[in-house]
Structure 1
Amino acid sequence: MKRRRRLCSQICLLLAGICLISLGASIFIFFESIYDFILKDALKFTPTSKAFQAWRTNDPPLSMEIYVFNWTNPDQIKNVSVKPEFEEVGPFRFKEIKEKVNITWHDNSTISYKHKKSYFFDEENNFRSLSDVISTINAVPLTIGYKTRNFINFYKGIISIGLSSISSLHVTKTVGEILFDGYEEPILSTLSMMPINVEDRFGIFYKTILFFSRKNGTPGLDGVYSMSYENDEHFGRILTWNYRNQTDFFEGHCNDIRGSAGEFYPMNQKRDRLVLYSAELCKYAEFEYVEDVVIKGVHGYKYSADNIFDNGTTRPENKCFCKGECIPSGVFNVSACRQDSPTFLSFPHFHAADPYYHSLINGMKPDKKKHEFFITIEPKSGIVMDIAAAMQVNLLLQPIERLSLYSNVPKVYVPLFYFTQRLNLTDELASSLRLIQNLPEYSNYTSLILVGLGLICILWGLCSLCCCKTTKEKLKIEEKIQRNTQYEEVPLNERIYDTK
Structure 2
Amino acid sequence: MSISRSKLAAGLGVAGLMTAVFGTVLVFVVPLIVDQQIVKNVQINPHSGMPYTMWKDVPVPFFMSVYFFEVLNSNEILQGEKPVVRQRGPYVYREFRQKDNITFHDNNTVSYREYRQYHFFRNMSIGDETDIVVIPNMLVLGAAVMMEDLPYAMKLVLSAAFKTFNEKPFLRRSVGELMWGYEDPLVDFLNNFFPGMIPFKGKFGLFADFNNSNTGLFTVHTGVDNIRKVHMVDSWNGLKKVNYWNSEQCNKINGTAGQMWPPFMTPETTLPFYSPDACRSMELVYERSGEMLGIPTYHFVAPKTMFANGSVYPPNEGFCPCRESGIQNVSSCRFNSPVFISHPHFYNADPVLLQTVDGLHPNEEEHGLFIDIHPKTGIPMNCSIRLQLSLYIKQVSGISETGRISPVVMPMIWFAESGYIDGPILDTFYNNLVLLPSVLDYMQYVFIALGGLMLVAAVFLGICNKSSMNNESHVQYPCHCATCTPFI
How far did residue 246 of structure 1 move? 0.4
What amino acid is the match of 1:267?
Answer: P
How far did residue 257 of structure 1 move? 0.3
Task: Give, in whole Å, the separation in 2 of the partners of 1:299 and 1:242.
Answer: 36
Q: 1:309 aligns with which of 307, 310, 316?
A: 307
Say what the alpha-carbon RMSD is for the aligned residues.
3.5
Which residue in 2 is equivalent to 1:422? 418
Task: Give, in whole Å, the separation in 2 of the partners of 1:186 and 1:109.
Answer: 49
8 A contact 1:313–1:328 mirrored in 2:
no
Task: Give, in whole Å, the separation in 1 of the partners of 2:273 and 2:280.
Answer: 9
1:353 equivalent in alignment to 2:346: no
8 A contact 1:225–1:240 mirrored in 2:
yes
How far did residue 399 of structure 1 move? 3.1
**Once the two structures are aligned, what percentage of the paired residues are identical?**
25
Segments of 5+ residues of structure 2 without an aligned counterpart are none
Residues 96 and 430 from structure 1, CA distance in 2 versus in 1: closer, same or farther, beyond 3 angstroms? same
Which residue in 2 is equivalent to 1:85? 84
1:452 equivalent in alignment to 2:449: yes
Residues 486 and 113 from structure 1, CA distance in 2 versus in 1: closer, same or farther, beyond 3 angstroms? farther
Q: 1:204 aligns with which of 194, 203, 206?
A: 206
Q: Where do residues 280-429 of structure 1 align in structure 2 (5 Å cutoff)?
A: 280-305=277-302, 306-322=304-320, 325-406=321-402, 408-426=404-422, 429=426
Residues 44 and 264 from structure 1, CA distance in 2 versus in 1: closer, same or farther, beyond 3 angstroms? same
The alignment partner of 1:419 has SS state of: strand
8 A contact 2:30–2:441 mirrored in 1:
no
How far did residue 189 of structure 1 move? 4.1
Offset from partner CA, 1:162-200 (integer Å, 9 cap, x none): 3354332122122222111x3333422435677969534
Which residue in 2 is equivalent to 1:229? 222
The alignment partner of 2:66 has SS state of: strand
What amino acid is the match of 2:173?
Answer: K
Task: Give, in whole Å, the separation in 2 of the partners of 1:449 and 1:356.
Answer: 62
How far did residue 64 of structure 1 move? 1.9
1:241 equivalent in alignment to 2:236: yes
Task: Give, in whole Å, the separation in 2 of the partners of 1:448 and 1:59.
Answer: 37
How far did residue 378 of structure 1 move? 2.2
Offset from partner CA, 1:333-380 (integer Å, 9 cap, x none): 111112222221122222222112212221212232111111112223
Larger Rg: 1
Q: Where do residues 52-201 of structure 1 align in structure 2 (5 Å cutoff)?
A: 52-59=52-59, 61-80=61-80, 82-166=81-165, 167-180=167-180, 182-191=181-190, 199-201=201-203
TM-score (norm 1): 0.83
Q: Where do residues 472-483 of structure 1 align in structure 2 (5 Å cutoff)?
A: none
How far did residue 97 of structure 1 move? 0.3
Residues 409 and 473 from structure 1, CA distance in 2 versus in 1: closer, same or farther, beyond 3 angstroms? closer
Residues 7 and 189 from structure 1, CA distance in 2 versus in 1: closer, same or farther, beyond 3 angstroms? same
The alignment partner of 2:229 has SS state of: coil
Segments of 5+ residues of structure 1 without an aligned counterpart are 209-213, 492-500
8 A contact 1:296–1:430 mirrored in 2:
no
How far did residue 8 of structure 1 move? 7.4
The alignment partner of 1:184 has SS state of: coil
How far did residue 275 of structure 1 move? 1.5
The alignment partner of 1:97 has SS state of: strand
Residues 468 and 301 from structure 1, CA distance in 2 versus in 1: closer, same or farther, beyond 3 angstroms? closer
